């Protein structure tokens, strides 16, 4: 698929590390101009320095919970590259704990970043793509947890369930503008966030492996490949939630061990 995104411009929110960084790197390797975003300009700059490609990269500080900040990011993107063709809503956080102990601030923080931030980004991108009149691809990074309940993750799972239905609603509303809106809902992926969860709550990695039909954690590259496929636009898909989860949801419940 090399060069499949030549002359396209992509924004990836929360792309200074983890899955977002992998997505930015993959899109750039396919020829897209890529805006690398973080709440910290220093982290965005450092991420750009790490990406090896011949595409143009632009680091921009912006907070996804601030719609005006995202509008400014979009305006700078268009001023620099002339268009906005791909927008990936990747920024996300997780706060864990028993539901009865989650504070209002903790709940609101997760909803603000994961759900409202995704809506703000999609709205800003959608308006720009509508004005351009050339269509586009909006890709929301959700989670397989948006399809199920889980102890200690009520704010996160709820926010990702909202992202899934937001994806379907926007896909329907913007189909007439040839704007495809889809989501990627990964399972357990080897990232710093998973490492942090292991440190905080001490889940057993072997339990996850045993619960996953493919028998391992996924990789950032595998998630980024799914995003690149959707971004290339050579498909008849909108309103879809793709699950690179190693078969977790298909398995229902149980363990291979």
- Find the Cα–Cα–Cα–Cα dihedral 199, 200, 205, 210, rounded to 10°: 180
DSSP codes joined into one string, 100-117: GG--HHHHHHHIIIIIIH
Q: Which of 156, 174, 188, 229 is catalytic?
A: 156
Cα gap 220→66, rounded to integer Å: 27
**Helices (runs of H) and strands (runs of E) counted in the chain:** 10, 7
DSSP-based three-state secondary structure for 126: helix
77 within 8 A of 11, measured Cβ to Cβ:
yes
**Count of residues making up the chain:** 257
User: Is residue 156 flagged as an active site residue?
Assistant: yes
Mapping DSSP to helix (H, G, I), strand (E, B) and coil, where does residue 37 land?
strand
Q: Kindly report the backbone phi and psi dihedral angles of residue 180, in degrees, each rounded to the nearest multiple of 5, phi listed first.
A: -90, 130
Are the CB atoms for 130 and 177 separated by under 8 Å?
yes
Say what the alpha-carbon torsion angle 230, 231, 235, 239 is, to the nearest 10 degrees. Answer: 60
Catalytic positions are 156
């Amino acid at each position: 698929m090399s060069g499949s995104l030549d002359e396209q411009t992509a924004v990836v929110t929360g792309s200074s590390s983890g899955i977002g960084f992998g997505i930015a790197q993959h899109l750039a390797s396919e020829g897209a101009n890529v805006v690398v975003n973080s709440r910290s300009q220093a982290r965005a700059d450092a991420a750009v320095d790490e990406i090896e490609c011949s595409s143009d990269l632009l680091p921009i500080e912006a907070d996804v919970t601030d719609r005006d900040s995202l509008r400014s990011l979009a305006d700078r993107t268009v001023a620099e590259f002339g268009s906005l063709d791909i927008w990936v809503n990747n920024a996300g956080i997780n706060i864990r704990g028993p539901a009865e102990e989650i504070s209002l601030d903790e709940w609101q923080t997760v909803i603000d970043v994961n759900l409202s931030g995704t809506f703000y980004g999609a709205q800003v991108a959608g308006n720009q793509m509508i004005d351009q009149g050339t269509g586009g691809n909006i890709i929301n990074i959700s989670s397989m947890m948006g399809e199920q309940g889980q102890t200690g993750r009520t704010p996160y799972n709820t926010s990702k369930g909202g992202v899934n239905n937001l994806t379907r609603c926007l896909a329907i509303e913007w189909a007439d503008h040839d704007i495809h809106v889809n989501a990627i809902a990964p399972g357990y992926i080897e990232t710093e966030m998973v490492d942090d969860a292991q440190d905080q709550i001490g889940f057993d990695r072997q339990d996850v492996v045993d619960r996953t039909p493919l028998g391992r954690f996924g990789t950032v590259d595998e998630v980024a490949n799914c995003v690149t496929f959707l971004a290339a636009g050579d498909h008849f898909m909108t309103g879809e939630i793709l699950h690179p989860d190693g078969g977790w949801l298909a398995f229902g419940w149980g363990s291979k061990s």
